[in-house]
Chains A and B, each alone.
Chain A
Amino acid sequence: MKHIFKIMALLVAIAALWIGLLQTSMIPQSYALLLPIYSVVTLGCYGLLMVGVGLMQFPTCPQEALLLQQDIIEAKEFLQRKGVDVGSG
């Protein structure tokens, strides 16, 4: 099944649930009518929160850049001894 159909099926299920809620009037209709707006806002907030958390916890590795410099020096020495042209650049 194409992924878009999975997502559409999920949306249809949610819509059906919402219409069901409207019909049965388990909660006041004025609240029930606003539920879709609340869910869109919630989804947006979730997205922003995930981006924010991801940014704050963004894993960085400054020590790796230093280690790489050492590796480059080591590689250049070896390759120069073997006659590989790594002089410039």
Chain B
Amino acid sequence: MAISGEFEINQDLQFQRRMWKAERIGWIAMAVLLAGALLGLFGNGPMSWITTSNDSLIVEYQRFGRQQSALQLRVYLRAGLSNKDNLFFELNRAFVANVQVMRITPKPDVEQPISDGIRLIWSSNAEDGSMLVTISYQPEHIGWLTPSLSVGDADSLSIRQFIYP
């Protein structure tokens, strides 16, 4: 306690300056967080959206999401996948177990349980045109969410999302 003259006060200018320095560093950290948030570091921004693909699917998804807040998965089925007027793809168990699906557009005609998740089937006369399916869902758990999508026995396409609390 530094007593200033006859005035009893626990002023400490050296500490005060250290605190101001810490405060400035804190402000910089806040600015960095804000900039990151605008860019999508915590979901919903240009840095968050990402596209991945294989021979049968193109998938657009967000790298970052938040628990119990809506996310969207855009699945483009490439042309030529239609088989006896049926189009389908599978979502694995990691997806089914960890998210709450809100809406699938267009609505699948059949949601068929399979050993590793779910198969979504549409009867389609899209001929050879490609089709876009959007899935809206809410992640139920914090941490990595790593679902994968596949069409029949073809290679599956894994995606990786980080879910914030």
- Answer yes or no: do A and B interact: no
A residues lining the B interface (CB < 8 Å): none
